[in-house]
Structure 1
Amino acid sequence: MHIVEGGVVAPKGFKSGGKFIGLKKKRKDLSIVLSEIPCSFAALFTTNKVKAAPVIWNQEIYNNYSKIRALVINSGNANACTGQKGYEDTVLTAKTLAKSIGADQHEILVASTGVIGVPLPIDKITNNIDGLVQELDDDVVSGINAAEGIMTTDTNIKMISVKIEIEGKEIHIGGMAKGSGMIHPNMATMLSFITTDINIDESLLRDTLKEITKDTYNMISVDGDTSTNDMVIALANGMAGNAQIISRDENYKIFYDAFLYVNKYLAQEIVRDGEGASKFIEVNVNGAKSKEDAILIVKSVLTSNLVKTALFGEDANWGRVLCAAGYSGADFNPDKATLYFESNNESILLLEQGLPVTFDEDKAFNILKNNDITIRIELEEGEGSSTGWGCDLSYEYVKINGEYRT
């Protein structure tokens, strides 16, 4: 596997673009990703019962249709809690793009991100779709423009693309994502779009995305809030020309590893850009009775405000970690727990077999001064393990979200 440039336009047959149309005060706010030919697709959506209009539209397509030509994404307005008019605006967005590219409206997926409960300025979108379609291209700049157009409070673009080879055919996977706050396991306030030119059975692609999401997007947390607009969508147009992958053979394994890499990278980039974050935190649990128990502990530690604030303050308050593990609902014996803080190839033992260890406070402080920190918990209960990613909780997070609408 090799990392290449391009993002969502790295795979053959895809074009993209992004532009400013006035939904936000500044920065690009409308993006389109287009495939030359219809794509198979996979998707997962927010678990929040309050779903934005584009989520409802896309779910209907997912359940009733099988081919997609394009994605259209706006930022600056979530089109959530906007009633029937919001849904009609989503349909109109799809119809407008479909007409512009000569496709059926049900071949268009729509996404929105931004402020909830504000009517969508639909005219700004429909009046600019044709113009953006004319600007779509498959060069690196076009991939960057599309990634910029989906940002809200993000401080940087999140995009990646890789190249693999299967039976002599070059295959590309590209992706872009947005997300900074309102991030929590079971889909966060994130949008993630993956493109690939591999020829793969659609049901296998859908199963693969479900599996990978469990260990990537569902294992990140910034602030414990699950949004109304979250989705991850993967498009596969088959233009690489490989023999269709229909089973979990060796060729599938090559694709799976690269697909996992792309999605894991994007999930981690979302956390690294967490609103006001100064620390990237990995929680690694090993030796749990089951993977499910390990996941419960990881998520509980990642979402503990006391853990997050301790790490912001660079305080080795390991008791908060053990406390969060204890109320996670996981079945484990605290007397077998061993706990480490790690960073930059340094590790410090804080708890061993349920008992506190006298440790060097200066060494602990120096470890916690680093930007990337790992909390490792060893339980010696079984074979279950899990890893998740989060960030600290800072003064800046409160400031950003206290002023979000202003």
Structure 2
Amino acid sequence: MAEIAPVSGVRLAAGAAGIRYRDRDDLVLMELAEGSTVAAVFTKNAFCAAPVVVARQHLAKIAPRYLLINSGNANAGTGENGLAASFETCRLLAAATGVAMNQVLPFSTGVIGEDLPTEPFARAIPGLLAGLDENNWEQAAQAIMTTDTVPKLASRRFEVDGRAVAVTGMCKGSGMIRPDMATMLAYVATDAVCDREILQQVLEAAVAPSFNSITVDGDTSTNDACVLVASGASGVDVSDAGSEAGRLFGQAVQEVCMELARAIVADGEGATKLVEIQVDEAASEEQARNVAYTVAHSPLVKTALFASDPNWGRILAAVGRAGVQDLDIDRVRIWLDDLCIVSRGGRDPGYTEEAGQAVMRQDAFRIRIALGRGEASARILTCDLSFDYVKINAEYRT
């Protein structure tokens, strides 16, 4: 793992609260320096989890000082009991730190439909406060994992007039991944100074090509959240988006988000292949994305990817049912990396099964589709569908 840069003004701690798991950390505390600005995006799932409701409410009222994240229990589909539990976890931390209750943002991930116990939070909070340290990013990333097999972290540094700025992020996500705002849970922090409105714009610009352009299985979680924190500790102001500092900041945040998003797909439950789907020559970006997601979500395509089977007819069929009106199939071309497999409505004359299989045996490759309809394009990342995906999700609650 590449070196993870600490972010001045942001301290983290992880501990074993025993919320669901035994003998592993499952609760994370992030402390934000006073004066920090915070931006966030949340799931668009109508059954959003209680912590999402509470975090949205709190963020709209006051600048947060703490983020409290638990794994093992999503506190989703829990009605009024779930809201009460989320509010109580905030109250417990506020009482222990002296901040206002709405200066705590709660986050949860794990099993849906089970009441969240608050006693473990009460027991664990004193230890978390004692363990806060700006170097605890890796421990925190491990503690928020559920079916993830590896912690996911990324860092970038840049300089403005000789002053260094750090951008570091962590996320969790492996299954139930087709985010409709961000990813399952992601936290990115910087020591730059940034106006909240600009910070929100930077976050949304970074989320679009990264977390909002990935899919493992087409499922949008009830708990998706992505948070961007600017502590201001470096003194470098990046609030002018048109300045060199603003440009470097936006680039660094986007690079961190892209790296984390790629890590989620690579760690997709049971995944053995990382596949980029690029759709070009569409009439609109929406059309391009619809085609890309139709291919990515096809169980037949995904199982062919797992088998390294160049069954190009499955890809062709997915493109054909993607809802493109009056599609001229003679203008559609499809490639595996640089190997053309489809042209003029059928198999390309130069294509061979051996060459197709050679591409699909790789751990990572690209499916490129040209629709011949315009100049718009879209790119998403996905993975294959393996035996292990079914096993992991069939046994998730056992």
In the superposition, the TM-score normalised over structure 2's length comes to 0.95
Partner in structure 2 of residue 355 of structure 1: 346
Q: Which letter maps to 2:219?
A: D
Percent identical pairs in the alignment equals 38
> 1:50 pairs with 47, 71, 90, which one?
47
- SS of the residue 2:120 aligns to: helix
Q: Does 1:6 align with 2:1?
A: no
Map Cα deviations across residues 307-328 of structure 1 (whole Å, 9 max, x no partner): 1011111111122222222222
User: Structure 1 CA distance, aligned partners of 2:175 and 2:96?
Assistant: 34
CA contact (8 A) 2:191 2:234 kept: yes
Cα displacement (A) at 1:189:
6.2
Alpha carbons of structure 1 residues 180 and 109: separation in structure 2 relative to 1, 3 Å: same
Partner in structure 1 of residue 101 of structure 2: 105
Partner in structure 1 of residue 330 of structure 2: 335
Q: Which letter maps to 2:68?
A: V
> 1:297 pairs with 277, 288, 291, which one?
291
CA contact (8 A) 2:175 2:217 kept: yes
Cα displacement (A) at 1:382:
2.2
User: Structure 1 CA distance, aligned partners of 2:17 and 2:273?
Assistant: 34
Cα displacement (A) at 1:370:
1.2
For 1:2-401, list aligned pairs within 5 A: 5-6=3-4, 10-23=6-19, 24-65=21-62, 67-139=63-135, 142-187=136-181, 190-331=184-325, 332-342=327-337, 347-358=338-349, 359-401=351-393
Map Cα deviations across residues 6-47 of structure 1 (whole Å, 9 max, x no partner): 36xx22111112122212134210111112323211111111
CA contact (8 A) 2:238 2:246 kept: no
In the superposition, the TM-score normalised over structure 1's length comes to 0.93
CA contact (8 A) 1:294 1:330 kept: no
User: Structure 1 CA distance, aligned partners of 2:101 and 2:375?
Assistant: 48
Q: CA RMSD in A?
A: 1.7
Cα displacement (A) at 1:188:
6.9
| Worse-superposed segment, 171-180 or 324-333 | 324-333
- Structure 2: give runs of 5+ residues left out of the alignment: none
Q: Does 1:405 align with 2:397?
A: yes
Q: Which letter maps to 2:384?
A: D
| Worse-superposed segment, 239-248 or 313-322 | 239-248
- SS of the residue 2:60 aligns to: helix
User: Structure 2 CA distance, aligned partners of 1:43 and 1:22?
Assistant: 28
CA contact (8 A) 2:194 2:232 kept: yes
Cα displacement (A) at 1:221:
0.8
- SS of the residue 2:69 aligns to: strand
CA contact (8 A) 1:4 1:162 kept: no
Cα displacement (A) at 1:98:
2.3
User: Structure 2 CA distance, aligned partners of 1:208 and 1:329?
Assistant: 32
Q: Which letter maps to 1:182?
A: M
- SS of the residue 2:35 aligns to: strand
Cα displacement (A) at 1:4:
6.5
CA contact (8 A) 2:55 2:105 kept: yes
- Structure 1: give runs of 5+ residues left out of the alignment: none
CA contact (8 A) 1:182 1:189 kept: no
Cα displacement (A) at 1:330:
3.7
Q: Which letter maps to 1:61?
A: H
